[in-house]
Amino acid sequence: MSFQNPVFIPGPTNMPEALRRACDMPTLDHRSSLFADILQPARAGVQEIIRSDSAEIFIFPASGTGGWETAITNTLNPGDKVVAARNGMFSHRWIDMCQRHGLTVEVIDVTWGEGLPADRYGEILAADKAHEIKAVLATHNETATGVLSDIAALRKAMDAAGHPALLFVDGVSSIGSMPFEFDSWGVDVAVTGSQKGFMLPAGLAITAFSDKAKKAVETAGLPRCFFDVRDMAKTYANNGYPYTPAVGLLNGLKLSCEMLLSEGLDNVFARHARIADGVRAAVSAWGMELCAASPDLYSNSVSAIRTPDGFDSTKIVTHASEVYGVAFGVGLGDVAGKVFRIGHLGLLTDVMALSGIATAEMCMVDLGLPVTLGSGVAAAQEVYRSTAGAMALAA
C-alpha cells in the first residue's frame, strides 16, 4: 500500500483527479482537426482567466522560465535597456536571464519581503527622457517571499512618467489563484506556467501578448527559434503547432480553464483568500511572522514564514518530508534557512490546509521550537468555521 499526502509546496500543486485524467489521454494526431478542439479552447480559456479581450495566447512545451524567455526574446533587441526590481529569487532569476541575453538591466534592489516599488520605477522612467528603456519587468507574486505586488500602481507610475516601455508581468504564481487584469493593467506580456493556478503538471509555458507587444515582435532582434511567437501565430492560424505539442497537457489546460471559469473567477480567488487566511492565522498563533513586510503584500498562494534567528528553517522542510511524508517549500536565495514556505494554491480544501498546518506544528515541536501543538490548527479552524459552507457552495 502506498499513501500519498497532499503537497504544500507553492507549485506544482495538488491536482484534481479530472485534470490528471485529462492529461493522460490516448495519442491523437496533432495535425488532425481533433487538435484544434483542444488548442483553441485552451487558448480562449487562458485569455478569459487573465481578463483580456484581445491578448494573443502562445503556449509552449516548457515551464515558466521558458515564458520569461519568450517575453524578452520576441520583443527586444541586443543591448536594449530594461528596468526590473529584485525582491526575491524569481525576480532575480528573470533579471539574470535578461543579462545573459545581453540586455542592460537597471536593477532596483528591494529588501526581500517588500513589494515592487512603483514609485522607484516611475522615477527611473521619468528620468529616461530618451526612452532608452524598452521594457519594465514585474514579478506579480514573488513566490520566494510570498509577496504580492500592485501591478495597477506600477502601470499608473508608467503612465504618469509618460513612458512607452512595454510592461512584462510574471504571473506564474498568481494567475488562476489571484486577480490578474491583463487589459485594465495595460500588461504587454504576461507569463505563467501550467503547474500552479491551473493545477496541472509542469510542462507548459503560457504567455499572453498585447497588440503593442506583437508590434515589437516585428522589430525584435534577439535570437529566438523554439520560442518564436511568429511561428506559433502562423501555425495557430491553421489550428496547428510549429512542432510536436504536449497534447495531453493542453487537453488538461482546456479542462482546467473550464473548471476555473465554471467555479467563477471571483469564487476561485475568494477560496484562495480563505485558505490563506487560515494559514496566516496559524502563523500568528505560533508567534511567528511572515516574510511579507505588511498585510497589503500578503500572497494568497504562498506564505513564507520566518523562523527564529539562529534556527535553520530548512530543517522543518527536511523533517516534514522524512518523518511525515509531507512537502513544504524551502527558503530560496537571501532567505534560505530563514523561512519555510507553505504553498496554498490550486486544489486545496480547509481540511487539507489543516493537515498541513498540523504537520508544520509537529515538525516545529519535534525540532524544539517554542510552538504549542494545536495552536495554529485551532486558529485556522476558527477562520474556517466562521466561513464554513463557502467551500461546499463553491463546489
Rule CB under 6 A: which residues touch ligand PLP?
11, 63-65, 90, 139, 141, 143, 170, 172-173, 193, 202
- Nearest approach, Cβ of 332 to ligand PLP (angstroms)? 9
Interaxial angle between packed helices 350-366 and 375-386, expressed in degrees from 0 to 180 and rounded to the nearest 10 = 170
Q: Is the Cβ–Cβ distance between 89 and 332 less than 8 Å?
A: yes
231 φ/ψ sector (left φ>0, alpha ψ -120 to 50, else beta) = alpha
- Nearest approach, Cβ of 64 to ligand PLP (angstroms)? 3
Query: Please, which residues bridge with residue 306 across strands?
Result: 289, 339
Q: Which helix (H) or strand (E) holds 355?
A: helix 350-366
- 141 vs 303, beta carbon nearer ligand PLP: 141
Q: Which residue is nearest to ligand PLP (CB)?
A: 64
- 90 vs 384, beta carbon nearer ligand PLP: 90
- 13 vs 139, beta carbon nearer ligand PLP: 139
- 45 vs 343, beta carbon nearer ligand PLP: 343
- 299 vs 381, beta carbon nearer ligand PLP: 299
Return the closest-CA partner of residue 252 out of 292, 299, 216, 200.
200
Give the cell for residue 258. 473550464
d(CA 359, CA 328): 10
- Nearest approach, Cβ of 196 to ligand PLP (angstroms)? 7
- Nearest approach, Cβ of 268 to ligand PLP (angstroms)? 18
- 163 vs 341, beta carbon nearer ligand PLP: 341
- 191 vs 288, beta carbon nearer ligand PLP: 191
Give per-residue burial for 64-100: e unless 16+ CB within 10 Å, then b.
Answer: bbbbbbbbbbbbbeeebbbbbbbbbbbbbbbbebbee
d(CA 317, CA 340): 7
- 285 vs 342, beta carbon nearer ligand PLP: 342
- Nearest approach, Cβ of 169 to ligand PLP (angstroms)? 10
Return the closest-CA partner of residue 217 out of 77, 103, 99.
77
Q: Which helix (H) or strand (E) holds 171?
A: none
- Nearest approach, Cβ of 372 to ligand PLP (angstroms)? 32
| Owner of C-alpha cell 489521454 | 25
- Nearest approach, Cβ of 192 to ligand PLP (angstroms)? 8
Return the closest-CA partner of residue 181 out of 147, 141, 210, 151.
151
- 205 vs 255, beta carbon nearer ligand PLP: 205
- Nearest approach, Cβ of 193 to ligand PLP (angstroms)? 4
Q: Is 8 helix (H, G, I), strand (E, B) or coil?
A: strand
Q: Is the Cβ–Cβ distance between 282 and 377 less than 8 Å?
A: yes
Give the cell for residue 106. 537597471
- Nearest approach, Cβ of 23 to ligand PLP (angstroms)? 16
